[in-house]
Amino acid sequence: MTAKLISGTEVARQIREELTGETARLKERCGVVPGLVTILVGKNPASMSYVAGKQKTAKEIGFHSVQENLPEETTEGELLALIERCNRDEKIHGILVQLPLPRQIDETKVLYAIDPKKDVDGFHPVNVGKMVIGQADYLPCTPAGIQQLLVRSGVKIDGAEVVVVGRSNIVGKPIANILLQKQPGANATVTICHTGTRDMALHTRRADILIVAAGRPNAVTADMVKPGAVVIDVGVNRIGTTPEGKAKLVGDVDFEAVRQKASFITPVPGGVGPMTITMLMANTLKAAQIAAGVR
Q: Please report whether residue 276 would count as binding ligand NAP according to CB under 6 A.
A: yes
Scanning residues 203 to 262, which ones bind ligand NAP (CB under 6 A)? 213-216, 219, 234-237
Q: Please report whether residue 188 would count as binding ligand NAP according to CB under 6 A.
A: no
Q: Please report whether residue 166 would count as binding ligand NAP according to CB under 6 A.
A: yes
Q: Please report whether residue 191 would count as binding ligand NAP according to CB under 6 A.
A: no
Q: Please report whether residue 170 would count as binding ligand NAP according to CB under 6 A.
A: yes
Q: Which among 21-29, 101-109, 163-171, 259-267 is the span making contact with ligand NAP, rule CB under 6 A?
A: 163-171
Q: Please report whether residue 171 would count as binding ligand NAP according to CB under 6 A.
A: yes
Q: Please report whether residue 196 would count as binding ligand NAP according to CB under 6 A.
A: yes
Residue 158 neighbours by CB distance under 10 Å: 12
Question: Which one of 117, 118, 121, 289 is the catalytic residue?
Answer: 121
Q: Please report whether residue 267 would count as binding ligand NAP according to CB under 6 A.
A: no
Question: Which one of 55, 98, 148, 181 is the catalytic residue?
Answer: 98
Q: Please report whether residue 142 would count as binding ligand NAP according to CB under 6 A.
A: yes
Distance, in Å, from the CA atom of 278 to the CA atom of 271, rounded to the nearest integer, reads 12
Enumerate residues 6+ apart whose C-beta is below 8 A from 62. 20, 23, 24, 27, 33, 34
Q: Please report whether residue 34 would count as binding ligand NAP according to CB under 6 A.
A: no
Q: Which among 16-24, 33-41, 122-130, 196-204 is the span making contact with ligand NAP, rule CB under 6 A?
A: 196-204
CB of 111 to ligand NAP, least distance (A): 15
CB nearer ligand NAP, residue 194 or residue 248: 194
- Please answer whether residues 38 and 66 qualify as being in contact, where contact means their C-beta atoms are separated by less than 8 angstroms: yes
Distance, in Å, from the CA atom of 169 to the CA atom of 110, rounded to the nearest integer, reads 16
Helix/strand/coil (H/E/C) assignment for every residue in the chain? CCCEECCHHHHHHHHHHHHHHHHHHHHHHHCCCCEEEEEEECCCHHHHHHHHHHHHHHHHHCCEEEEEEECCCCCHHHHHHHHHHHHHCCCCCEEEECCCCCCCCCHHHHHHHCCHHHCCCCCCHHHHHHHHCCCCCCCCHHHHHHHHHHHHCCCCCCCCEEEEECCCCCCHHHHHHHHHCCCCCCCCEEEEECCCCCCHHHHHCCCCEEEECCCCCCCECHHHCCCCCEEEECCCEEEEECCCCCEEEECCECHHHHHCCCCEECCCCCCCHHHHHHHHHHHHHHHHHHHCCCC
Is-catalytic flag, 98? Answer: yes
Binding residue count for ligand NAP, defined by CB under 6 A: 26
Q: Please report whether residue 147 would count as binding ligand NAP according to CB under 6 A.
A: no
Is-catalytic flag, 135? Answer: no
By Cβ distance, which residue is nearest to ligand NAP? 168
**Selected binder of ligand NAP within 61, 157, 165, 188 (CB under 6 A):** 165
Q: Please report whether residue 200 would count as binding ligand NAP according to CB under 6 A.
A: yes
CB of 223 to ligand NAP, least distance (A): 15
Is-catalytic flag, 56? Answer: no
* Residues identified as active-site: 54, 98, 121
Binding region for ligand NAP (CB under 6 A):
142, 165-168, 170-172, 193-197, 200, 213-216, 219, 234-237, 272-273, 276
